[in-house]
Structure 1
């Protein structure tokens, strides 16, 4: 029998209620599992007696296993390779940074050391983006909400996680129900992450974006745009044919009107494809009615993706100057949370 993850809230709630146990005991189980990685169910105090037999017969504290932990030489990043119950692998990456580095609006930045966790929502991906290692894998399966939360469980034992970004393997909004349930667990006890510290990245699944603000308010939204016009976007992101830019921009405006939050725009710089001066102007005009933060990402060729090459520093600088000088957008001075190189190296290991 395949056991269920105790972090699959809807499953756990249903099973608890079926035997007459109130669901408010579930967070007590989660808290104990977090604090005691190798615990047995009988060791958890203060549960109704029926809960112990139920947990033993149907649930595991984690259905996945932590296969390997790899630290970068500078200890800034830690990659977790996680083996799922079905034998597939996904990766999660802990990224450590100090928010006090650099300046914002000419003033010292507040804060201190922080850890952000980049997590996966699928094994593989249906979107088929031609510059993405995960896209070359094709789609294998969705993760359950418990398998998503388990990545946070493992990471929390290594570092105090303050932010979560759904920027690992998969398109989060193609696994909408599991992602939304996982976020609700992460924002509840005992994790208690602020929704404002969670970012969901998407290629632009319009109908799901329209639902997201209602189902889980106050999240940060990041959009993998990567091109300022529909033709180029379709060339490098085949799935974009289903999400025309005009409709996507309308959806983002509505999302922003409801959320009152800036939207992150991810833009990978591909030499000769989307990095010319005309593209910078097109991008600025496309986004000028939105409040956005643009993240220009360097492309790192690996494997079958080598037919693309990364833009040189001069092109990137010129691109930035056009956007900053002519349009009301904010461009990150450093790459958003983690570098594309770190992510692709992690993905390459999984592909191998």
Structure 2
């Protein structure tokens, strides 16, 4: 029988309660595992001050980490790193660290506050069943859900590379299709010893309506991002087959209710595909669709995913015109995502388990940045 991750909160809490051990000791165990650079080599007996019954239980049923860092690729942009993480099953998932300085650039004509920080883009599944035609992960198909512990372990492993301030669920998989593990993982991330603010965690979804309806009650204060990518249902279905199950009208009604309950802005993700969804008429359709919402629209330049792709990247002029319409005509805050990590296939839509040729990384010479995702 495989040992469970000690970061699988429900599992360890259940086992402790069955053994009559106070669950309040669990954060202490997590703290020691996080602090250990040895990772899986830490011995349970090295953790002091636990009840005597805890040690044999930990030995018998749990591992400090079930995942390991298989490899890490650093982009030539000097601020992006892609972690290839090997799960206990032998499957591989990817997480991306994006470092940036929030003091660079301006917002509303004023200097930004803040400083250096890192955002971690985590995966929730091995592969993805949504099948979005512009996304490399979708080409893998669905393989498996990650456990809550496997999701949290991405944060543990990444924290050994760089201190993490923000977490975005924008990696491999549809987070809301792994709802129970997602909720449990985020509850661990926002509790001691991690203590991330819910305001610094963003969950991205293609629009799983029934799960969005539950999200605010289960995880209040969280940031929601919606991969909209088209202003009308027929275009959405062409590029996102899963949209057939979640009609745009019903999705927008769900988001209206979510916003009413949460009183938070929603991040709208919109990938720019040349000749598909990037024309002026599409900008007006999107503006009308969103004008009653409090949203930030994030326009995402399409990232190439190999010779099989049927799409092309929208030119800068078309992106600029699209942004001006949304901002100027509909007064909706609209940003353009600056790309990071394209040379290591770590940019948006490029996450698929592979290992680029090191020479291509060294020679690409891309210099990129990222927008501030914090709403």
Contact 1:296-1:335 at 8 Å conserved across structures: no
Q: CA deviation at 1:37?
A: 3.3
Q: 2:352 aligns with which of 339, 347, 350?
A: 347
Give the corresponding residue for 2:92: 89
Q: CA deviation at 1:303?
A: 2.5
4+ residue runs over 6 A deviation: 336-341
Contact 1:90-1:350 at 8 Å conserved across structures: no
Partner of 1:86, secondary structure, is: coil
Give the corresponding residue for 2:292: 289
TM-score calculated relative to the size of structure 1? 0.96
Q: 1:248 aligns with which of 213, 237, 251?
A: 251
Give the corresponding residue for 1:154: 157
TM-score calculated relative to the size of structure 2? 0.91
Distance 1:36 1:341, change over 3 A: closer
CA distance in 2, matches of 1:343, 1:175: 20
Q: CA deviation at 1:335?
A: 3.6
CA distance in 2, matches of 1:346, 1:326: 35
Task: Kindly report which structure 2 residues correspond to 1:1-352, keeping only aligned pairs within 5 A, or say none.
Answer: 1-38=1-38, 39-303=42-306, 305-335=308-338, 342-347=347-352, 349=354
Q: CA deviation at 1:344?
A: 4.6
Contact 1:295-1:335 at 8 Å conserved across structures: no
Distance 1:290 1:275, change over 3 A: same
CA distance in 1, matches of 2:114, 2:84: 30
Q: How many residues align?
A: 352
RMSD (Å), alpha carbons: 1.7
Q: CA deviation at 1:334?
A: 4.2
> Which stretches in structure 1 are left out of the alignment for 5+ residues?
none
> Which stretches in structure 2 are left out of the alignment for 5+ residues?
358-375
CA distance in 2, matches of 1:336, 1:288: 27
Contact 1:275-1:319 at 8 Å conserved across structures: yes
CA distance in 2, matches of 1:345, 1:130: 12
